């Protein structure tokens, strides 16, 4: 199901504006993120209607705003049981 036909116009406009701000490194990025947060908080049902592309826009905006890179895969730590004895338990 295409969420573009279901989402309210205000939400669609905010996502389009956020996408443009990300591409242009516009200073209104934090304001748009806050407005989108408020819209989604006021109507949580909208969240279930978001497409993967719309979610990716929000994630990209948050990454740019917080200057944090989100890891795509967690590293697995290998543990060796060779040096474990009964006393360690």
CA distance 48 to 56: 14
What rounded mean pLDDT belongs to the chain? Answer: 82
> Per-domain residue ranges for the chain?
10-66
State CA 71 to chain mean position distance.
12
Task: Please state the pTM of the whole predicted model.
Answer: 0.64
What's the pLDDT score for residue 4?
45
CA distance 15 to 52: 12
What's the pLDDT score for residue 1?
42
Cα distances from 27 to residues 5, 61, 88, in angstroms, run: 29, 12, 55
The answer to whether the CB of 51 falls within 8 A of the CB of 3 is: yes
Q: Residues 39-86: pLDDT tens digits?
A: 999 999 888 888 999 999 999 999 989 888 877 666 566 666 677 777
Give the orientation angle of helix 29-42 with respect to helix 52-66, to 10 degrees: 130
Q: Give yes or no for residue 29 having a pLDDT over 60.
A: yes
Which pLDDT band holds residue 10 (cuts at 50, 70, 90)?
confident
């Amino acid at each position: 199901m295409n969420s573009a036909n279901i989402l309210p116009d205000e939400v669609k406009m905010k996502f389009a504006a956020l996408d443009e701000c990300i591409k242009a490194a516009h200073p209104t990025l934090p304001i748009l993120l806050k407005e989108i947060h408020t819209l989604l908080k006021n109507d949580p049902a909208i969240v279930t209607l978001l497409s993967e592309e719309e979610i990716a826009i929000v994630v990209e905006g948050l990454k740019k705003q917080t200057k944090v890179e989100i890891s795509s895969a967690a590293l697995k730590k290998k543990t060796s049981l060779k040096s474990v004895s009964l006393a360690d338990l």
